[in-house]
Structure 1
Amino acid sequence: MLSQFRENLSEKIPFVQEKKNLLAISGGIDSVVLAHLCKKAELNFSLAHCNFNLRGTESDADEKFVKKLAKELEVELFIEHFNTQKFAEEHQLSTQVSARKLRYFWFYELAEKHHFDFIFTAHHANDSLETYFINTLRGTGINGLTGIPEFNDKIFRPLLEFSRNEIENFAEKENLNWREDSSNKSDKYLRNKIRHHVIPVLEEENPQLLATFQQTQKNLQQTADLLEDYTTFLFSKLVEEINGNYYFNIQQLQETPHTKAVLFQLLHPFGFSEWNDVYHLLEAESGKQVFSKTHRLIKDRAVLILSKNEEKTSEDFYFAEEEKQLKFPLGIIEKDEVTKIEEKANEIAYLSGEKIKFPLLIRKWKAGDRFKPFGMKGSKKISDFLKDEKCSLLDKENTWVMCSAEQIIWVIGHRIHNDFKIKPTTTQSLKFTLKK
């Protein structure tokens, strides 16, 4: 096992002997074997142990065992205590999900602070098989059927090619000690139910189940890679990026074979799960939207707009007379004094300086706001103005106004107030330029 372990490391991580690694250690047989293999392979590694305080004295005994192991291996050890139950309640998560979030967040903190190149975890082939069944039961795309990835950013799982039996045989041969987690015997968790009741039945039918699965997993991974390449190609053809948002051409989507499957492939990386709602957007009226935890998808006439969920800001900004520029969420506004009107664009406002009262207020527009658009005699609600401008919901939400003495003088990036325009009699002309 050691020679295969070394070969795998050399193949997957070139110059592995020069890398600095962090090894997640629970005290169970898998992580203990991984620690001993790393020691025998003469790797540079430290241990990181999480005490989730979920099993009382058993958790404390695990920590004590790990401290002893680190001393025997002569490696650095990091230990962190978590109030996992409290975290789960506060964030409305299961205990398992909470522990996983806490664990990996801490690992990445350690990696950044102490400059670790990789974070090793002791997942093995049986874990990947169990994950396959869990994802199948929950409903998943092809990526969920490829098992646990060997690499995931800094995370590396060097035991994925080894079975639980191989790990146990190595531990027995090396006369290793480890801790048994009593929760692994409980059928409280889905993974344990699959491990104790589903897989043994399948192994009776096919004693080579694990080897068969590993070959299936390789085939699925090849298919997933091919699908990813095709999705990347489609993304370049169907999607346009504008100011950090993605615009999907609905007509082209509908003309593409297997439209729903294509939408799934394009959008699942952004956390969407209510797929029927996503598909219905193609025929929905403008303004309809679907949310994931991180993004939202908006129907706007002939396109779907994908944007990040951002915290709404109600903060106001003030532009003092002596200032030359102001930074705010939409970008930077620069102020110049000019003698004539030169370039014209929506991002540029020429205003009569003698009519302006500083400081100028920069804020988001709100319901009831009115102004007199340049070229018009009467006033107009900004909501109606933006509608006439055919602004998308996203554009409307991100529209800011510049105010002088509470009067809107510029709908930033759109139109100035007609009464503040520069005339032949104007003695001071100011140019405001929005740079996003």
Structure 2
Amino acid sequence: MLPVQQFQDFIEQQQLFVQGNRILLAVSGGKDSVLMLHLFKAIGVDVGVAHCNFSLRADEAQRDESFVALLARNLGLPFYVTHFDTKKYAAENKISTQMAARDLRYQWFEEIRLSEQYDYIALAQHQNDAVETVLINLTRGTGISGLHGILPKRDRLIRPLLFLNRQQIEELVKANNIDFVEDSSNASTYYTRNKIRLQVIPHLQEINRNLEKTFAENISRFAELETFLNVQVQKLATKILNKRADGVYIPLEEITRLNPQKLLLYELLKPFGFGEHVIQEILDCLKALSGTHFFSATHQAIINRNDLVIVEKNVSVTANQFIHPATESIIFAAHEMALKFTEEITFESDANKAFVNAGKLIFPLVLRNWQNGDKFVPLGMRSLKKVSDYFIDEKVPLHLKNTTPILVNGNGEIVWIAGMRQDNRYKLTTATKKVAIFELKIK
């Protein structure tokens, strides 16, 4: 007899889905996924069957596909199948075959879920899979999230067999005469997971005969610990992460107060892609000179005087943009600059606007990044000043120096450090007949 009541109880306890939801079942044809399919059929949930052929086991892969297709047809269920060139994908992305198969199947499952309007994707992972995942994570190095392994529910993925272990599944399949197909690669120790399953876990079970149950309890504790940590980190982020238009600022003084320091800074910076080794580098350099940079794949962290500033990584310096009299607006990196003319002699005290004597402009103007050696005459002054010195005097954050648009006249003179200071040579005077109004906006 199938454990229908236990199955339903687990679904309710873990709040995996509600009545009326449609579930897409990932079915390989092995014991686990076939048992899951029969359990879902027994409780009358609206399901569909999805099968991936990874083209890795030749005739055996085709056998699995045919078996699952026939099973779905006999049960009167929708059947979806796809074929992957897994080895090619792995080579192109420089990842393992296992990782390639994982990426491909999850992407495809989600595509089918959306296109066919299913609410969740059900995976047939069980308690032994959870044990193996934790051991793999511990072996490779992990944070708290790796200690809880696979969860019963994460986003649109559900794992309704986590109340069973491998031995129980084998006994149920045998007792209920359920047909399945065997994946011959499960007996190979070539793959890391199989090596853990076949060579490591048996020794651990000699120490603890209830290994799966113990791990299930531990996983539950770690999951609760992660939830608690996430709540505390969110509170901390609200308190010390200052989000501004040009980046996220964290006072260095606040970082020195963190306890435990490395764990909390890692969790705070994790959304920006910084790994543990970079976090340690940041902590080692808290008293370093301004300008020290640290990088993730997507962001950079900069020690800027009294703050650690997080900004998106600049891939390259923005190319020069030309402005003609007919130009109404122009895009420059993360900025937009608008231009209009008026014969009304007008002026506003707004750092994001420059009111320029149009009679002195030589078109085309150039909008570019700051360059070493740039000089201008700050509004209200008479002598030239290096732009780099101006940035220092005004305490302009280091990361803004290379992203601040510089408006340059056709004769090479700087007209405006956009958003900061206009050049005195282009100010409005009593002799001005026409005004060019430049306005800087952040996209």
Q: Is contact 2:29-2:180 (8 Å) kept?
A: yes
8 Å contact 2:258–2:265 — kept in the other structure?
Answer: no
Aligned partner of 2:434 in structure 1 is 428
- 2:72 aligned with 1:70: yes
Residue 257 of structure 2 corresponds to 255
For 1:390, which of 389, 395, 399 is the aligned residue? 395
For residues 331 and 375 of structure 2, the distance between their equivalents in structure 1, rounded to whole angstroms, comes to 24
CA distance in 2, matches of 1:170, 1:137: 32
The answer as to whether partners of 1:16 and 1:43 remain within 8 angstroms in 2 is no
Q: Distance in 2 between matches of 1:56 and 1:419?
A: 77
Per-residue CA distance 1:353-381 (angstroms, 9 max, x = gap): 22334554434444555544434445555
Which has the higher mean CA deviation after the structures are superposed, 175-184 or 350-359?
350-359
Amino acid at match of 1:345: D
The amino acid that maps onto 1:426 is: T
How many Å apart are 1:87 and its aligned residue? 2.1
Q: Deviations over 1:72-99 (max 9, x none)?
A: 2322222222222222222221222222
**3-state DSSP of counterpart to 1:102:** helix
Alignment of 1:196-275 (within 5 A): 196-243=198-245, 245-273=247-275, 274=277, 275=279
Output the amino acid matched with 2:42: K
Residue type at the aligned position of 2:299: H
- Could you tell me whether the CA contact under 8 Å between 1:17 and 1:44 is conserved in 2? no
The 8 Å contact of residues 413 and 434 in structure 1, kept in 2 or not, is answered as yes
Aligned mates of 2:35, 2:380 — CA distance in 1: 78
Normalised by the length of structure 1, the TM-score is 0.90
The aligned counterpart of 1:175 is 177
Pick from 340, 350, 355: which aligns with 1:350? 355
SS in 2 for 1:17: coil
For 1:417, the equivalent position in structure 2 comes to 423
- Contact between 1:372 and 1:417, CA under 8 Å: does it hold in 2? yes
| Deviations, residues 253-277 of structure 1 (Å, cap 9, x unaligned) | 2123322232123223443221422
The question of 1:280 aligning with 2:284 is answered: yes
Q: Which residue of 2 aligns with 1:405?
A: 410
Moved more, 374-383 or 423-432: 374-383
**Paired amino acid for 2:436:** L
8 Å Cα contact 2:16/2:158 also seen in 1: no
In structure 2, the residue matched to 1:304 is 308
Distance 2:301 2:90 in 1: 29
Name stretches of at least 5 consecutive residues in structure 1 with no aligned partner: none
The 2-side partners of 1:383 and 1:183 are apart by 63
- Determine the structure 2 residue equivalent to 1:291: 295
The amino acid that maps onto 1:329 is A
CA distance in 2, matches of 1:189, 1:334: 59
Cα distance in 1 for residues equivalent to 2:32 and 2:246: 43
Which of 86, 91, 102 aligns to 1:100? It is: 102
Question: Which amino acid in the other structure matches residue 23 of structure 1?
Answer: L
**Residue in 1 that maps onto 2:43:** 41
Distance 1:127 1:404, change over 3 A: same
**C-alpha distance in 1 between matches for 2:238 and 2:432:** 49
Q: CA deviation at 1:428?
A: 1.0
SS state at 2:19 partner: helix
Give the deviation of 1:197 after TM superposition. Answer: 1.9
One-letter identity of the residue aligned with 1:351: V
Secondary structure, in 3 states, of the residue corresponding to 1:61?
helix
Superposed CA deviations along residues 330-369 of structure 1, whole A, max 9, x for unmatched, are: 2333334453444323211111222334554434444555
How much does 1:5 deviate?
1.7
Which residue does the alignment assign to 2:112? 110
The verdict on how the C-alpha distance between 1:112 and 1:289 changes in structure 2, with shifts beyond 3 A counting, is: farther
- What are structure 2's unaligned runs of at least 5 residues? none
**Which residue in 2 is equivalent to 1:329?**
333
Residue identity (%): 36
* Residue 115 of structure 1: how far off its partner (Å): 3.0
TM-score, normalised with respect to structure 2 = 0.89
Equivalent pairs counted in the alignment come to: 436
**How far is the alpha carbon of 1:287 from its aligned partner?**
2.0
Give the superposed CA RMSD.
2.6
Matches of 1:406 and 1:200 in 2, distance apart? 79
Describe the superposition over 1:238-291 as per-residue Cα deviations: whole angstroms up to 9, x where unpaired.
211112732111112212332223212322344322142232232322222222
